[in-house]
Structure 1
Amino acid sequence: MNRFLVFPLIKLIRFYQILISPYLGSNCRFSPTCSNYAIKALSKYGPIKGSFLSIIRILKCNPWNKSCGCDPVP
């Protein structure tokens, strides 16, 4: 059941990576990028926990947050 929910979310992220992200430029402060982090989190933890981890990561990726660098999926 989880795979049926994860697959469309990952496809949506890939759509963003291929068609939208090139026009916005590389702005992510972390490695892996937020979109790659989201794909890994969704694949590892499923749609609920993976989405939660991805949202937390995206909220941390801003100019006011002092952290940056390597932030792998737990």
Structure 2
Amino acid sequence: MIKILNIIFYPFKLIVLLLIYLYKILISPILPKSCRYTPSCSTYGVIAIKRFGPIEGSFLLIKRLFRCNPWSKGGLDPVPDNIKGDIKWII
């Protein structure tokens, strides 16, 4: 069952990764550096999507983007190794 889901979601994974890479290449160099976290939000998104797939990875990226604001402390915020209690309620 998991292999079938991986095959079905693979095109979506590629599309989301392509959008992030296009942002990193075309838009990010124009904007001032504003990410308060390490790794940057776009790198975090790539890692999350590669690790968890397009749905869970995108959810983690959206959560991260909401945390990345002028009032946050920032700092080191790696992609979690598992997402047990974080977003399993969605699936």
Could you tell me the TM-score, scaled by structure 1's length? 0.93
Which protein shows a greater Rg?
Answer: 2
One-letter amino acid matched to 2:29: P
Alignment map for 1:1-74 (pairs within 5 Å): 1-65=8-72, 67-74=73-80
Distance 1:51 1:41 in 2: 7
SS at match of 2:11: helix
Aligned alpha-carbon RMSD (Å) = 0.8
Q: Which runs of 4+ in 1 moved over 2 A?
A: none
More helix by share: 1
Give the gaps of 5 or more residues in structure 1: none
Give the count of matched residue pairs: 73
Identical residues among aligned pairs (%): 47
- Cα offset, 1:4, TM superposition: 1.3
Q: CA deviation at 1:2?
A: 2.0
What SS class does the counterpart of residue 30 from structure 2 fall into? helix
Offset from partner CA, 1:9-29 (integer Å, 9 cap, x none): 000010000000111021100
Distance 2:10 2:50 in 1: 8
Q: TM-score, normalised by structure 2?
A: 0.77
